[in-house]
Amino acid sequence: MLFRESLFMRKLRYVLFALFISTSPASADELSSLRVAALHSSHAYEFVSSLTTEVGPRLVGSANDDKAVAWAQTKLKAWGFENVHAEAFDAPKWVRGVETAEVITPTQQRLIITALGGSVGTPADGLTADAIIFSSYDDLLDAKPRSLAGKIAIVTEALIKAEDGAGYGAAGRIRRSGASEAAKRGAVAYLLRSLGSDYRRFPHTGQMHYDDGIAKIPAAALSAPDAEQLDRLAASGKTIRLHITLTPHVDGMITTHSVVGEIPGSTKPDEIVLIGGHLDSWDLGTGAIDDGAGIAITTAAAKLIRDMPVRPKRTIRVVMFGSEESGLIGAKAYAKAHARELSKITFGAEADFGADRPYKFRTKFGTAGEPVTRAMARALQPLGILFDDRPATGDSDVSQLAELGVPVADIEQDGTHYFDLHHTPDDTLDKIDKQVIDKVVAAFAIVSWIAANTDVDLRAVKASGN
């Protein structure tokens, strides 16, 4: 018997189809094919392997910084991206120099330290002074004015290891502000226990800053075993005298770049789904997990979208931000340069938390975006990713866009071991698992695809009564 669809059935089918289109921004087939392609791709690993091997560390203003900018554009073109270009901005060039330290009394021994980014140096032949050790940063803050006159102030507070990296956020002030706090109390140099969660003899570098109007004193990080050695020496009650030599300096302003590539949208090419990470890295390792992995993940996700049989409606833009480590300078320059385009950036997400497994997902959309959040959460669930209803903030660079109202999602990765390696000589390719990084690629490909195809304005607020 021939089936004749009644008018009612036809209308019902139309209504159901329209409902599907309006609440489900991408078909289940498209999403599962993206997921499968990502899990079998290995593009991300190839990317980060090439970057860390052929370029290596990428300190802002170094020759490798420029080399990375050229490398990234070549890679994007080779992978079929369009509108590939570099966007220039100015940033300070900081040079590391010599970094040594020794205990002189009560016993002679070498300490392993590394200068903090932005730090000034000691005299060329070093500085010798007695040390005062604080087992907690708050104890330093409680120290009286002038109580550290002529001394090296040392904070040995340990970072707390946490899956979501909360320990790093909480301890950030010790690295960022410690030198000026010590200088306000008369100290001539400042050392901290590295903001790391490992027990290897690798110090962790990272950016610090000086308060205006306060003497600039040299600042460096000790490896965890060296910080604990000083704790034990301090427990003996004997005077600890150190000699430290640090010769970093700021070598003026330079022009550096963020690198951009696009997969043009089919029907809304002027609307942008922006994903990325940062291209620069510290100089001690090769910047594999921070943030070679992040730009590998997001570029691979966009490439998978490019390889789909249909184009996304909106343009997928990959941004590899420059000069993130020295204080989000590239992200701030990008937000300024694109101020007039910001309303066209309909979605942003960044990967800047290593290469470990994704486990949590958050969004910050207008209330009209709730069905899109649900569609994303449903599509991420098979990857073992849990939805978290606290609002997303946007990872490092993209947080600058989130603050200006760009709707964002955070795909959170397991950070339990991230701060074992972060900003150390041990941040190298061998720490990345090829299968695990593909899971992160799958997650970014899925949310980007949904954001690029949804009919919902993610900034919009639901009309009352809906």
Site for Zn ion in 370-429 (CB under 5 A): none
| In the complex, least distance from residue 403 CB atom to Zn ion, rounded to whole angstroms | 18
Binding of residue 291 to Zn ion (CB under 5 A) = yes
Name the DSSP letter for residue 72.
H
Give CA separation, 238 vs 133, 154, 188, 224, in Å: 12, 15, 20, 21
Question: Beta partners for 109?
Answer: 103
| In the complex, least distance from residue 43 CB atom to Zn ion, rounded to whole angstroms | 20
Listed in sequence order, the DSSP H helices in 338-433 are: 370-380, 396-402, 418-421
Helix (H) or strand (E) holding 111: strand 109-111
Residue 342 to residue 202: CA distance in whole angstroms = 41
| In the complex, least distance from residue 352 CB atom to Zn ion, rounded to whole angstroms | 4
Helix (H) or strand (E) holding 257: strand 249-263
Which is nearer to Zn ion, 198 or 352 (by Cβ)?
Answer: 352
Question: Beta partners for 361?
Answer: 387, 411
Helix/strand/coil for 414:
coil
| In the complex, least distance from residue 277 CB atom to Zn ion, rounded to whole angstroms | 7
Which is nearer to Zn ion, 226 or 290 (by Cβ)?
Answer: 290
Q: Considering only 92-100, 128-136, 331-339, 345-353, which stretch makes contact with Zn ion by CB under 5 A?
A: 345-353
Which is nearer to Zn ion, 289 or 383 (by Cβ)?
Answer: 289
Q: Considering only 135-143, 283-291, 405-413, 433-441, which stretch makes contact with Zn ion by CB under 5 A?
A: 283-291
Contact at 8 Å (CB) between 246 and 290?
Answer: no
Which residue, 454, 23, 63, 6, is CA-closest to 254? 63
Q: Considering only 12-20, 121-129, 221-229, 346-354, which stretch makes contact with Zn ion by CB under 5 A?
A: 346-354
Which is nearer to Zn ion, 290 or 426 (by Cβ)?
Answer: 290
Helix/strand/coil for 246:
strand
Q: Considering only 204-212, 243-251, 347-355, 435-443, which stretch makes contact with Zn ion by CB under 5 A?
A: 347-355
Helix/strand/coil for 355:
coil
Give CA separation, 84 vs 72, 74, 164, in Å: 9, 9, 34
Which is nearer to Zn ion, 208 or 244 (by Cβ)?
Answer: 208
Which residue, 442, 413, 448, 451, is CA-closest to 43? 442
Looking up tokens 């050695």, which residue turns up?
229
- CA 76 to chain CA centroid, Å, is 20
Q: Considering only 267-275, 291-299, 378-386, 443-451, which stretch makes contact with Zn ion by CB under 5 A?
A: 291-299
Q: How many CA atoms lie within 13 A of 83 on its CB side?
A: 14
Which is nearer to Zn ion, 87 or 290 (by Cβ)?
Answer: 290
Name the DSSP letter for residue 340.
G
Q: Considering only 138-146, 174-182, 229-237, 287-295, which stretch makes contact with Zn ion by CB under 5 A?
A: 287-295
When binding is defined by CB under 5 A, the residue of 87, 262, 290, 395 that contacts Zn ion is 290
Site for Zn ion in 69-128 (CB under 5 A): none
| In the complex, least distance from residue 296 CB atom to Zn ion, rounded to whole angstroms | 13
| In the complex, least distance from residue 60 CB atom to Zn ion, rounded to whole angstroms | 13
Helix/strand/coil for 427:
coil
| In the complex, least distance from residue 289 CB atom to Zn ion, rounded to whole angstroms | 9
Catalytic positions, please? 324
Which residue, 317, 213, 308, 191, is CA-closest to 264? 317
When binding is defined by CB under 5 A, the residue of 87, 226, 352, 420 that contacts Zn ion is 352
Binding of residue 283 to Zn ion (CB under 5 A) = no
| In the complex, least distance from residue 280 CB atom to Zn ion, rounded to whole angstroms | 9
Which is nearer to Zn ion, 126 or 322 (by Cβ)?
Answer: 322
Residue 92 to residue 465: CA distance in whole angstroms = 52
With CB under 5 A as the rule, give the number of residues binding Zn ion: 3
Binding of residue 181 to Zn ion (CB under 5 A) = no
Which is nearer to Zn ion, 71 or 365 (by Cβ)?
Answer: 71
Retrieve residue 86's tokens. Answer: 């570099």
Q: Where does this chain bind Zn ion (CB under 5 A)?
A: 290-291, 352
